[in-house]
Amino acid sequence: MTRLILIFVLLSAVFACKKETPNLSLEQVKYNTNKSSYPSTKMDSAQAINKITKQKVREVLELSILYKAGKQDTDIDSALYNQILGYFYKPDSLTVRNLLNELDSLQVGNARIGSFEVTERYFKKDTLNFARFDVQYYDRNNLPVGTFAREAQYVLVPAEIRFKKEFKFYFLNFYQQPILKDSTSSGVTR
């Protein structure tokens, strides 16, 4: 009886396996456009700046959390720290000190960006770019620590790499008071 059941199970397993062969003709491959895989949405410059800024804020937060999770004495930690400083226009330890101190004091294990807004302020004749966002901190057990309203000042620096209108993105400060300096030094008139 057990042999009969075993033979029945093996036969049903063999006949249940149906090998499907993909129907790939030359015409299908030739005219495949991948429209379902890659949506063709176009963004204007304001939407692109908003998306890039949000991505950069997220990257700085994630790298900072990874850096603070380590012991800050290994080669990986120093590489993370240098990568964090690469997001800043004038990289030094003072530019990220407030962020790292906040992450350390709250013992943050994860962060999520809530509302996000890119704004411009005018100081004398200069336009200052800011990213205002709510950051939600979570501890290592994914329990919420709190939600805080934060601000980061950024600049887009023209850089001709491949195309004529390319820019490099840098933060001027992160979680600090905005830099309100006129681009014209004192005593210089135009």
**Residues 80-115: pLDDT tens digits?**
999 999 999 888 888 888 889 999 999 999 999 999
In the chain the first and final C-alpha atoms are separated, in Å, by: 102
Q: Name the domain count of the chain.
A: 1
Q: pTM value?
A: 0.68
Q: Which of 56, 47, 48 is nearest to 154 (CA)?
A: 56
pLDDT-derived band at 177 (thresholds 50, 70, 90) equals low
Query: Tokens representing 14?
Result: 């063999």
Q: Does some domain include residue 33? A: no
Residue 80: count other Cβ atoms within 10 Å of its Cβ.
Answer: 20
Q: Does some domain include residue 70? A: yes
Q: Does some domain include residue 38? A: no
Q: Does some domain include residue 183? A: no
CATH label of the domain that carries residue 145: 3.10.450
3-class SS shares of the chain: helix, strand, coil, % to 5: 35, 25, 35
Q: Does some domain include residue 14? A: no
CB 82 within 8 A of CB 66: no
Quick one: which H or E segment has residue 50?
A: helix 45-69
Q: Does some domain include residue 179? A: no
Q: Does some domain include residue 114? A: yes
Q: Which domain holds residue 66?
A: 46-174
Q: Does some domain include residue 19? A: no
